[in-house]
């Protein structure tokens, strides 16, 4: 008589489901990202008084140079805005600058990612070209062309830098944008002031720095007194 065969029972897996183990790291990672986002948001807010003080100090110091050159500088900035808003978005031009900086800083890996945001490559190229040409050409028209293109190039860098930071995904509390663009803006204004100090005798980088520091100090002092009711 044939032996009756019974279906074999499958071995019971006593280990906990894998999904429970996988959930743990993402939760910690998400919490860590949010904590870091809060820290960057606080640092970004702390940079805002410097944004204000550096802007005011720059405008005050910039006002000492020839009014016609001031108009050319702002004409460059406004021209870039008009072209960007109504005619053509020069994103490809900005991207080429990114690629150039990536080549220049390819030997320093961390700088490859941040240099395109921090360094206005076209502004620096124009500045170096002007210094070289001014040794040969003494016409005041050269300075006019330079200051116009200088304003246009810095406008290009700040507009597209802000756009790139604003569109970053998973930006908790917009911390990357507030902190990142504030830092980029401060660094770029300082760089512009340094360049103008070399080009124009009347523009003083020392006065600009001192005024910016004193105004930022006054803002922080006023905020501290309001928060802690200090007389």
Residue 213 belongs to what H/E stretch?
A: helix 205-228
Distance of CA 223 to the CA centre of its chain: 25
Question: Per the domain annotation, does 73 fall within a domain?
Answer: yes
Question: Per the domain annotation, does 25 fall within a domain?
Answer: no
* pLDDT attached to residue 27: 46
* pLDDT tens profile 96-118: 888 888 787 777 666 677 777 78
Question: Per the domain annotation, does 159 fall within a domain?
Answer: yes
* pLDDT attached to residue 213: 95
From 15-24, 43-52, 203-212, the region with the lowest mean pLDDT:
15-24
* pLDDT tens profile 146-165: 999 999 999 999 998 888 87
Question: Per the domain annotation, does 26 fall within a domain?
Answer: no
Question: Per the domain annotation, does 23 fall within a domain?
Answer: no
Distance from the first to the final alpha carbon of the chain: 105
Does the predicted model carry a pTM greater than 0.75?
yes
Pairwise pLDDT comparison (174 vs 218), residue with the higher score: 218
- Whether the per-residue pLDDT at 127 is higher than 60: the answer is yes
Q: For residue 45, what are the domain limits? A: 33-228
For 90, residues 6+ apart whose C-beta sits below 8 A from its C-beta are 83, 84, 156
Question: Per the domain annotation, does 3 fall within a domain?
Answer: no
* pLDDT attached to residue 5: 52
Question: Per the domain annotation, does 150 fall within a domain?
Answer: yes
Question: Per the domain annotation, does 91 fall within a domain?
Answer: yes
For 155, residues 6+ apart whose C-beta sits below 8 A from its C-beta are 76, 77, 80, 81
* pLDDT attached to residue 76: 96
- Whether the per-residue pLDDT at 19 is higher than 70: the answer is no
Which two three-digit tokens encode residue 58? 């720059």
- Number of domains observed in the structure of the chain: 1
How many CB atoms sit inside 10 A of residue 144's CB?
17
Residue 117 three-state SS: helix
């Amino acid at each position: 008589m044939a032996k009756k065969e019974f279906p074999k029972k499958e071995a019971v897996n006593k280990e906990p489901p894998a999904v429970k183990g996988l959930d743990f790291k993402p939760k910690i990672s998400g919490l860590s990202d949010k904590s870091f986002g809060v820290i960057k948001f606080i640092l970004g807010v702390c940079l805002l008084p410097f944004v204000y003080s550096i802007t005011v100090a720059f405008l005050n110091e910039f006002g000492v140079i020839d009014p016609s050159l001031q108009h050319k500088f702002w004409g460059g900035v406004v021209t870039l805005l008009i072209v960007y808003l109504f005619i053509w978005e020069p994103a490809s031009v900005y991207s080429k600058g990114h690629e150039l900086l990536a080549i220049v800083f390819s030997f320093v890996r961390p700088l490859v990612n941040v240099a395109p945001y921090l360094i206005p490559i076209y502004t620096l190229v124009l500045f170096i070209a002007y210094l070289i040409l001014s040794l040969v050409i003494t016409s005041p028209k050269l300075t006019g062309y330079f200051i116009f293109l200088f304003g246009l190039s810095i406008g290009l860098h700040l507009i597209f830098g802000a756009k790139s930071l604003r569109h970053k995904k998973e930006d908790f509390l917009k911390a990357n944008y507030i902190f990142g663009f504030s830092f980029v803006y401060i660094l770029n204004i300082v760089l512009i002031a340094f360049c103008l100090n070399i080009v124009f005798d009347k523009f003083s980088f020392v006065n600009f720095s001192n005024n910016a520091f004193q105004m930022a100090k006054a803002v922080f002092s006023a905020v501290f007194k309001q928060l802690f009711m200090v007389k």
